[in-house]
Amino acid sequence: MDLKRLRTFVAVADLGTVSKAALRLRISQSALSRQIGDLEYECGFKLFDRIGRRLFLTTRGEQLLGDCRGVLGQVGSLGERIELLKRGDSGVLKVAAPPQTIESVLAGFLPRYTERFPNVRVKLTEALGMDQVPMLERGEVHIGIRHDQGVNPWFESLALPSDDVLAAYRPSLQLGRGGAVDIVSLADHPLLLLDSGYSVRRLFNAACRLADVEPSILLESRAPHTLLALAESGQGVAVIPSVRTDRYRLRVARVTHRRKPLRDRYVIQWDKRRPMPTYAQNFCAALAAYMRDALPITRPSAR
């Protein structure tokens, strides 16, 4: 069975259209369609149903997809192992992380890492937690740094310190006590929230349901610093993960529910089915040590 056809099949299944898959694989749409047709002929059954401009897997196609991913993963791992044997402690390390982690953590860590490992080039990709999962599975990145979002049997995790959900607001706003603010007391204030792609937002939503409160949402954004700028101008209370707030004139408090802080665990994750370069293992260990010292980036304001 031709591996090229399997890669084409997986790409079309992931992207849903011939045009997008052809663009990713850098081949013409007609050549891609022929490869899919040849694979269907070889299998003896249809792999896709066409609905409008999109292609949807048939039942048999869905069953075959997992096996194809496994075969391609093993082939990719073999190639990676050969490269690791040749390269040793030099090469390109591909890392995915949320934007606030890149700004608040990696910007300070990378110069230190480069001093120790000058022959390793770190390539960063900005990606939120759930977006990192397919990237790790496809081998597009070696490691992902994110909030822990459940158990994936294929992933290995290195635990990092927990990250608190924080509320940032103008000093004139009398809110909270002792560096903490209960989620119920936030309900009467206009809130500036991150969108649902952030685990902090999902954690906040879950706490609102438990507390039986309906938040008053003024704005949802993918940029924490947009929320902080609006909070500084008195537009509302920003609910954020641990990011740098020192450039803003704001008070910061932990968000709590029944006196317990809302917090999420940070992890470094990688797909254990793929070989980890030596320099990636060193990166994980050094980053974990750095983050234990660096977190939390922002602490509650002193009264």
Q: How confident is the model at residue 166 (pLDDT cuts 50, 70, 90)?
A: very high
> What is the rounded CA–CA span in Å between residue 53 and residue 42?
24
Place of tokens 């399997």: 6
- Helix axis angle, 18-25 relative to 29-43, nearest 10°? 100
Q: What is the pLDDT averaged over residues 162-189? A: 88
48-95: per-residue pLDDT in tens?
998 887 888 999 989 899 889 888 887 877 777 666 555 556 778 999
Q: What is the pLDDT averaged over residues 181-199? A: 90
Is residue 201 predicted with pLDDT exceeding 60? yes
| Cβ atoms within 10 Å of 212's Cβ, excluding its own | 8
Q: How confident is the model at residue 187 (pLDDT cuts 50, 70, 90)?
A: confident
- Helix axis angle, 3-15 relative to 29-43, nearest 10°? 110
Is residue 188 predicted with pLDDT exceeding 60? yes
Do the Cβ atoms of 32 and 8 come closer than 8 Å?
yes
Q: What is the pLDDT averaged over residues 266-279? A: 86
Q: How confident is the model at residue 96 (pLDDT cuts 50, 70, 90)?
A: very high
**Strands 155-164, 166-169: pairing kind:** unpaired
Q: How confident is the model at residue 221 (pLDDT cuts 50, 70, 90)?
A: very high
pLDDT computed for residue 250 by the predictor: 92
> What is the rounded CA–CA span in Å between residue 146 and residue 294?
15
Q: What is the pLDDT averaged over residues 204-228? A: 93
> What is the rounded CA–CA span in Å between residue 290 and residue 77?
29
Tell me which of 31-45, 73-87, 229-243, 285-299 is least confident. 73-87
279 against 193, higher pLDDT: 193
- Helix axis angle, 18-25 relative to 3-15, nearest 10°? 130
pTM of the model: 0.64
Q: What is the pLDDT averaged over residues 245-262? A: 91
pLDDT computed for residue 302 by the predictor: 59
- What backbone torsions phi and psi does residue 279 show, to the nearest 5 degrees? -70, -25
pLDDT computed for residue 162 by the predictor: 81
> What is the rounded CA–CA span in Å between residue 164 and residue 262?
6
Is residue 303 predicted with pLDDT exceeding 60? no
Which among 192, 196, 220, 208 has a CA at the least distance from the CA of 262? 208
